[in-house]
Amino acid sequence: MLVRIKEHDPLYGYGVLTAGVILTFMDLLFLYMTSVRDPGIIQRNYNQVCDDVSEASSRELVAGKSDSLKIPRTKDVTINGYTIKVKFCDTCKLYRPPRASHCSICNNCVQRFDHHCPWVGQCIGLRNYRFFIFFISSSTFLCIYVFTFSLINLLRRKRSLVHSMSRDIVSVILVIYCFIAVWFVGGLTLFHFYLMSTNQTTYENFRYRYDKGKNPHNFGVFYNVKQILFTKTPPSAINFREMVLVEDVIIPTTPSENESFSGFRKDSDVEMTQRLTRSGRWVVPSNLQNLDYADIDDKLKKVDNQLEASNDQFLMAPQGQAPAQQRYQVTSRDAAVVTINNRER
């Protein structure tokens, strides 16, 4: 329209151009809000699961037939007079709420899980389904809008249609492109309008195939549409800026074949002290945090004196044989050196 605006009525040209820019901006805005918003991720359970253990599993544990407690795989929940089974998620360590499912791509349980959209790059769930509806609806309307006014540009010319098409290649490309695209986004929009009016999700529609009158979440078209489009979005269950506990990461090191025993001892010392957190800070291993370092210097002096005495015994011993005391004292000194290095680092 910007190229052909001088050939048409300025009011018509600028009006069509402005409406097209607004539709494009809204379409990209809804795409952004769908993609970056938390879809309704359920916070994982990091505590040990001890409740809801079946009696049979307890008896097996007492009898020694089971190594760990077995959590029941399902629980029965009643919704509007219908009994629904909720499953236990082994990854998130919790019972999924009704209509929730675990996304294998995002690796999270999502409330009111609809599907994982590869075009958006995000799960579609409870907190962003409304914006997903707006996104595909605005995309469909934008395709129809561009198709209509591109075709009008061709028909407004006074010459034949073939001549107009040869002079306005851009309009021809837009007409063909939008005609093909509208069947995909338009069909998707109509399908989700049907799901919204019956209060279903894509996952439920393909998985459960609710028969007529057996959908426990269906309260009528008016209430279903109101629940999705005109209700307040629930707050996110995840605080993405919250400080979290960080597990230690151990970086193992192995000596090469050409290294001597001293090099191996040095690398073993580094391996014991190279415990890094994800923040990159050095931490002392847990088994050395409670040691008493107050009299370490005195103990080290005693070790040195004992080592000198063992060296004298070594000189007096037959060739090729070392006393057992010397072997024990060397091992003790190695342990003391490792302990001091851990303290200093």
Active-site residue numbers? Answer: 117
CA distance 84 to 89: 16
Which residue in the block uniquely carries the two structure tokens 């409406």?
Answer: 19
Taken in order 29, 34, 35, 41, the sign of the CA dihedral is positive
170/14 Cα distance (integer angstroms): 18
Amino acid at 13: G
| CB distance 89 to 81 below 8 Å | no
Query: For residue 94, how many other CB atoms are within 10 A of its CB?
Result: 19
CA 119 to chain CA mean position, Å: 17
Q: What is residue 117's three-state secondary structure? A: strand
The answer to whether the beta carbons of residues 174 and 152 sit under 8 Å apart is no
Residues 201/114, Cβ–Cβ less than 8 Å: yes
Is the distance from CB of 7 to CB of 159 less than 8 angstroms? no
DSSP 282: B
